[in-house]
Amino acid sequence: MERPAWAPPGIDLTRPSVARMYDYYLGGSHNFEVDRAAARQALEVWPDLPAIMRANRAFMRRAVRHAVACGVTQFLDIGSGIPTFGNVHEVARAANPEARVAYVDHDPVAVAHSQAIIAGDGRTAVLQADIRKPAEILQSPEVSGLLDLERPVALLLVAVLHFLQDADHPEEIVAHLRDTLAPGSCLIVSHATDEGQYGELEEDKDVYKRMGSPLIMRSRHAVERFFDGFSLVDPGVVFLSEWQPDAESEEAGDPARYSGYAGFGIK
């Protein structure tokens, strides 16, 4: 398969990537046939995936605006994905032009495309790193050179923690990040759940599991646990469409259709 100019050298074009599948659900163009084929299989089981992903992005935008309204101007977005409409720095800057955003992802296409989008922008940075190594992220020149960790930061873990197995101890990773952040910092989380419209999946239907990136569904209680040490703002951990809907919100129907939980906490 020929590598298009936007794809960094060395990436495996024969295996689907969760970042590029997500880009496909959202209507982006940074994906390959191998990603689209896997995404189509996932859509057979979860036809609402594009609507769920749009609801996830809409939650992220509302949460970023809420953080800016709380006076926070620094953002650390881990598992930031392939840039698409309404990126964190665009939403934050619209509310406060001083906003600084560090993007972190382990996917090379997400990183390369983020670098292309923010080239020459001194108030954004991009780092290729794994959330399972939070100390490396915090100490990296990209993050520590851009964000003043003595001041509040909004930490976005949006649709990423469900790619961590229980054996990765995601609660310890979040606690490590929390303990480094200054008081007044915010935690913004969304997370897949099987407590919504789609219950537990039969194993052979689980495309993500078959491709080696299983989606770990967690309960509302488990998602609330990520907010230990933070005060949850109203309405707490709720389905994506229920988190402070605004005039732009267009998610219709039963909130359980959006099989993901969302929450916002302040340290």
Ligand X SMILES: C[S@@+](CC[C@H](N)C(=O)[O-])C[C@H]1O[C@@H](n2cnc3c(N)ncnc32)[C@H](O)[C@@H]1O
Site for ligand X in 165-184 (CB under 6 A): none
Count of residues touching ligand X (by CB under 6 A)? 20
In the complex, residue closest to ligand X by CB? 81
Regarding 20 and contact with ligand X (CB under 6 A), the answer is no
Q: How far is the CB of 51 from ligand X (least distance, A)?
A: 14
Which parts of the chain fold into alpha helices (H)?
18-25, 33-45, 49-69, 88-95, 108-118, 134-139, 141-144, 170-180, 207-210, 220-225
- Cα–Cα distance measured from residue 103 to residue 84, given in angstroms and rounded to the nearest whole number: 13
How far are the Cα atoms of 82, 91, 196, 230 from residue 87, in angstroms, in the given order?
A: 10, 6, 26, 25
Considering only 106, 178, 191, 267, the residue that binds ligand X (CB under 6 A) is: 106
- Contact assessment for residue 104 and residue 79, using Cβ atoms and an 8 Å cutoff: yes
Mark the segment that binds ligand X (CB under 6 A) among 3-11, 63-71, 100-108, 112-120.
Answer: 100-108
Site for ligand X in 130-159 (CB under 6 A): 130-132, 158-159
- Contact assessment for residue 186 and residue 152, using Cβ atoms and an 8 Å cutoff: yes
Regarding 191 and contact with ligand X (CB under 6 A), the answer is no
Regarding 110 and contact with ligand X (CB under 6 A), the answer is yes
- Chain contacts with ligand X (rule: CB under 6 A): 18-19, 22, 56-57, 60, 79-81, 105-107, 110, 130-132, 158-160, 163
